[in-house]
């Protein structure tokens, strides 16, 4: 949508050129790329909405766990909110809303990704299995990584939609790459297979996104020193730049999945070094509080 600048192919919503969205002759626009892509995007939104409704129905029929039912409802509400935001972007003809719509799409994809992992979660490890490699610093870095990726996704949106913050986006890519490398190396060396799996996913997503990022630079901006000249609206540019945005969603999702795995393993006491550090800190605070109480009692 954004690559082809097709967001305003239709000036109305929820109708399309005054016609019912579901009855609009979509296939007649095969040669009008902007209208074909924009209406296809709307129909995809309708399909996702229907699947989300089916998810809620199945969750309430098949699942007894309250969190699964609540999660399904949250996904449906997120779909509705995303659709309304997309419609408002058209009505207001606002690029800022288009950028916001893109960012919330990444968050929605991540939400669905984490929900699917949790629902399908069947760990082969017993709760007695321990990891001795995840330190407090690595744990903190793992939780910080999704935040950093989201910030980078925002900077990419600023350049993609508003033509700003290119250099900040490049700097953000360097920071995210360094942080993600530290996190994934530790995750891949974990004693727990589930954590190693998250590390491999993160490594794959990072490598793919770096490759797409370099491809987006070459196809969008060129590389003058090497004699590479970018061609505006070329098929290569359209495909690579769009895939780079999708890659950002996958990187955000995999980074969030890694953070979620760390939190779940910490809650079950399977991160032994981190648990020891946490309990040691709690013990020190308790002793300090007891000493303070005894001191106050002596003064009294």
Kindly list the distances between the CA atom of residue 261 and the CA atoms of 83, 115, 120, 194, 258, in Å, as whole numbers in the listed order: 30, 12, 13, 8, 5
Residue 191 is predicted with a pLDDT of: 87
Q: Quickly state the pLDDT bin for 38 (edges 50, 70, 90).
A: very high
Non-local CB neighbours of 165 within 8 Å, separated by 6+ positions: 155, 158, 159
Q: Which residue has the higher pLDDT, 117 or 293?
A: 117
Alpha helices in 129-234 (DSSP H): 136-162, 166-188, 193-220
Kindly list the distances between the CA atom of residue 124 and the CA atoms of 46, 107, 127, 128, 258, in Å, as whole numbers in the listed order: 38, 29, 10, 12, 17
Average pLDDT over the chain reads 88
**Contacts for 52-61: CB closer than 8 Å, 24+ residues apart:** 52/76, 52/79
Residue 286 is predicted with a pLDDT of: 47
Mean pLDDT of all residues in 30-57: 94
Residue 228 is predicted with a pLDDT of: 77
Q: Report percent pLDDT > 70 for the chain.
A: 89
Q: Quickly state the pLDDT bin for 131 (edges 50, 70, 90).
A: confident
Residue 123 is predicted with a pLDDT of: 44
For residue 228, the cross-strand partners are 223
Angle at 279 between CA 277 and CA 281, to 5 degrees: 70
Mean pLDDT of all residues in 15-33: 90
Q: Which of 158, 50, 175 is nearest to 103 (CA)?
A: 158
Residue corresponding to tokens 């994809």? 109
Decide if pLDDT at 281 tops 50.
no
Q: Quickly state the pLDDT bin for 229 (edges 50, 70, 90).
A: confident
d(CA 172, CA 157): 13
Decide if pLDDT at 290 tops 80.
no
At 196-225, the pLDDT tens digits run 999 999 999 999 999 999 999 999 888 877
Residue 284 is predicted with a pLDDT of: 38
At 230-244, the pLDDT tens digits run 888 888 899 999 999
For residue 19, the cross-strand partners are 16
Q: Give the global pTM.
A: 0.87
Decide if pLDDT at 148 tops 70.
yes
Residue 18: CB atoms within 10 Å: 9
Q: Which of 96-100, 123-127, 135-139, 157-161 has the lowest mean pLDDT?
A: 123-127
Token pair of 137 as six digits: 């610093």
d(CA 188, CA 143): 16
Residue 126 is predicted with a pLDDT of: 56
Give all domains of the chain, ordered by start, each with its CATH number: 1-123 (no CATH), 132-274 (1.20.120)
Residue 94 is predicted with a pLDDT of: 92
R_g over Cα of the chain: 24
Decide if pLDDT at 283 tops 80.
no
Please list, residue by residue across 168-188, b when 16 or more beta carbons sit within 10 angstroms of its beta carbon and e when fewer do.
bbeebbeebbebbeebbebbb
Q: Which of 38, 45, 159 is nearest to 95 (CA)?
A: 159
Q: DSSP letter at 131?
A: B
Decide if pLDDT at 99 tops 70.
yes
Q: Quickly state the pLDDT bin for 127 (edges 50, 70, 90).
A: low
Q: Report percent pLDDT > 90 for the chain.
A: 65
At 173-183, the pLDDT tens digits run 999 999 999 99
Are the CB atoms for 69 and 63 separated by under 8 Å? yes
Residue corresponding to tokens 């969008």? 220
Are the CB atoms for 85 and 104 separated by under 8 Å? yes
Cβ burial, residue 46 (10 Å; 0-12/13-18/19+): middle
Peptide bond into 14 cis (omega under 30): yes
Q: Which of 225, 270, 27 is nearest to 134 (CA)?
A: 270
């Amino acid at each position: 949508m954004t690559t082809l600048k097709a967001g305003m192919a239709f000036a109305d919503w929820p109708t399309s050129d005054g016609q019912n969205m579901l009855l609009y002759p979509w296939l007649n626009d095969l040669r009008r790329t902007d209208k074909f892509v924009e209406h296809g995007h709307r129909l995809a939104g309708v399909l996702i909405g229907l699947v989300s409704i089916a998810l809620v129905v199945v969750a309430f029929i098949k699942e007894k766990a309250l969190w699964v039912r609540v999660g399904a409802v949250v996904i449906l509400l997120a779909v509705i909110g995303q659709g309304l935001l997309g419609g408002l972007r058209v009505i207001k003809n606002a690029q800022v809303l288009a950028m916001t719509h893109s960012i919330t799409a990444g968050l929605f994809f991540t939400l669905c990704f984490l929900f699917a992992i949790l629902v399908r979660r069947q760990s082969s490890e017993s709760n007695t299995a321990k990891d001795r490699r995840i330190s407090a610093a690595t744990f903190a870095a793992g939780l910080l990584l999704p935040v950093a990726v989201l910030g980078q996704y925002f900077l990419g949106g600023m350049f993609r939609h508003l033509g700003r913050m290119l250099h900040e986006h490049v700097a953000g890519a360097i920071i995210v790459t360094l942080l993600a490398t530290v996190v994934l190396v530790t995750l891949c060396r974990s004693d727990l297979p589930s954590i190693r799996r998250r590390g491999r996913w993160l490594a794959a997503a990072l490598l793919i996104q770096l490759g797409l990022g370099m491809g987006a630079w070459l196809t969008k901006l060129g590389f003058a020193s090497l004699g590479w000249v970018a061609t505006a609206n070329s098929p290569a540019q359209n495909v690579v730049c769009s895939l780079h945005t999708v890659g950002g969603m996958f990187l955000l999702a995999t980074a969030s999945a890694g953070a979620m795995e760390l939190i779940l393993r910490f809650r079950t006491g399977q991160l032994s070094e981190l648990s020891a550090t946490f309990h040691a800190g709690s013990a020190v605070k308790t002793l300090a509080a007891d000493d303070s109480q005894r001191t106050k009692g002596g003064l009294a």
